[in-house]
């Protein structure tokens, strides 16, 4: 198993101990390589693949690792590799659909430091931060916080306030966003080709604020998922195209497909209320009630406005759950 890929971050953009007021190398040692295998028949296998690789961050002295959830969704095999070269198997503790966080428990001794949790609230715009992947300084990036703003993903996902940093880290999934004191403030989720809408060509990364972990951590540790009433899930992909919300696809067997929602349909209303952005579309769906409620969509299809009732579900019923829960 390869520990990490060859460095792709220019030396001038890599942090050095003199750049920070904390023990840089110790903090970077808390970032692991994380690799997973997913069964061929898993629900997410065709979308996310059966072999996934990224990073995780040790946040507990007993080997608890925080990562981005898409790396561990439905995983049946997890390997963790530290900067010390030690490879240890892990077990998926849980995945929270709303925040996007995943938790893994190392099944052997990592012999690595754990990062303290910070807060995205303490980060200022234009503040210097470090985005750290596994592999030490050569896989860490000096960046700055370019924006704090809403994020909506086409897969029925919304964050009220995500963290946007620039320049982009080339291997961002599960990477650590470190604040000025070396504490963990976010977990890398995506590459973004325009972190600020008003500034063209400013590429960067989106990270999930670590603050969101506090409210779901007890449930993840005990049950493998949040025990809040599950949001209604339709199983569709939606893109904003020319200021319209167009269905880009549906999951096989999911509610949207069963309701005959089609690729190319333009969603105009949810429950009779107009929707104009991805965020208010998905929030409109979630406002209809908990999973199981019927969501009425008004869509434009071939020049005609039609009503499409979609009986929602809890998305967790489509996913494999962690074996130990």
* pLDDT computed for residue 199 by the predictor: 66
* pLDDT computed for residue 202 by the predictor: 83
CA 151/CA 153 separation, integer angstroms: 7
* pLDDT computed for residue 320 by the predictor: 76
**Which residues, including other chains, have CB under 8 Å from residue 61's CB and lie 6 or more apart?**
114
pTM for the structure as a whole: 0.94
CA 201/CA 43 separation, integer angstroms: 35
* pLDDT computed for residue 319 by the predictor: 86
CA distances from 147 to 125, 161, 198, 200 (A): 6, 9, 11, 14
CA 207/CA 101 separation, integer angstroms: 11
Report all structural domains of the chain as residue ranges with CATH numbers, in order of start.
Answer: 11-114+216-223 (2.40.10.10), 120-213 (2.40.10.10), 236-318 (2.30.42.10)
CA 317/CA 249 separation, integer angstroms: 20
CA 175/CA 187 separation, integer angstroms: 6
Q: CA quadruple 54, 188, 276, 281: dihedral positive or negative?
A: positive
Task: Give 10-residue mean pLDDT values along the chain (325 residues).
Answer: 60 97 98 97 93 97 96 97 97 95 97 97 96 97 96 96 96 97 97 75 92 97 94 97 94 95 97 96 98 98 97 92 54
CA 39/CA 166 separation, integer angstroms: 35
Question: 3-state SS of the chain?
Answer: CCCCCCCCCCHHHCCCHHHCCCCHHHHHCCEEEEEEECCCCCCCHHHHCCEEEEEEEECCCCCEEEEEHHHCCCCCEEEEECCCCCEEEEEEEEECCCCCEEEEEECCCCCCCCCCECCHHHCCCCCEEEEECCCHHHHEEEEEEEEEEEEEECCCEEEEEEEEEECCCCCCCCCEEECCCCCEEEEEEEEECCCCCCCCCCCEEEEEEHHHHHHHHHHHHHHCCCCCCCCCECCEEEEEECCEEEEEEECCCCHHHHCCCCCCCEEEEECCEECCCHHHHHHHHHCCCCCCCEEEEEEEECCEEEEEEEECECHHHHCCCCCCC
Residue with tokens 């892990």, as numbered in its chain:
90
* pLDDT computed for residue 2 by the predictor: 37
* pLDDT computed for residue 323 by the predictor: 56
* pLDDT computed for residue 158 by the predictor: 98
Nearest Cα neighbor of 133 from 77, 57, 51, 50 is: 57
Residue 196 in contact with residue 202, Cβ under 8 Å?
A: yes
């Amino acid at each position: 198993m390869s520990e990490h890929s060859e460095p792709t971050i220019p030396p001038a953009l890599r942090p050095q101990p003199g750049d920070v007021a904390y023990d840089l190398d110790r903090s970077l040692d808390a970032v692991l390589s994380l690799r997973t295998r997913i069964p061929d028949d898993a629900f997410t296998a065709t979308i996310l693949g059966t072999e996934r690789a990224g990073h995780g961050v040790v946040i507990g002295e007993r080997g608890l690792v925080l990562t981005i959830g898409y790396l561990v969704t439905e995983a049946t095999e997890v390997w963790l590799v530290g900067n010390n070269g030690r490879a240890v198997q892990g077990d998926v503790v849980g995945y929270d659909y709303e925040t996007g966080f995943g938790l893994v428990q190392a099944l052997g001794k990592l012999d690595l430091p754990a990062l303290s949790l910070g807060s995205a609230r303490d980060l200022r715009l234009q503040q210097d931060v470090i985005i750290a992947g596994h592999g030490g300084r050569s896989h860490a990036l000096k960046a700055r916080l370019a924006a704090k703003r809403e994020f909506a993903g086409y897969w029925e996902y919304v964050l009220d306030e995500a963290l946007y940093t620039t320049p982009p880290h080339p291997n961002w999934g599960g990477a650590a966003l470190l604040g000025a004191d070396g504490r963990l403030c976010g977990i890398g989720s995506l590459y973004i080709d325009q972190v600020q809408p008003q500034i063209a060509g400013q590429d960067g990364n989106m990270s999930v604020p670590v603050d969101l972990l506090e409210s779901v951590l007890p449930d993840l540790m005990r049950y493998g998922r949040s025990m809040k009433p599950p949001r209604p899930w339709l199983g569709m992909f939606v893109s904003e195209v020319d200021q319209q919300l167009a269905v880009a696809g549906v999951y096989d067997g999911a509610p949207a497909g069963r309701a005959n929602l089609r690729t190319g349909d333009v969603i105009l209303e949810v429950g009779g209320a107009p929707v104009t952005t991805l965020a208010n579309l998905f929030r409109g769906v979630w406002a209809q009630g908990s999973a199981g409620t019927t969501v009425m969509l008004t869509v434009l299809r071939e020049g005609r406005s039609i009503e499409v009732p979609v009986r929602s579900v809890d998305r967790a019923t489509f996913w494999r759950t962690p074996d130990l829960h």
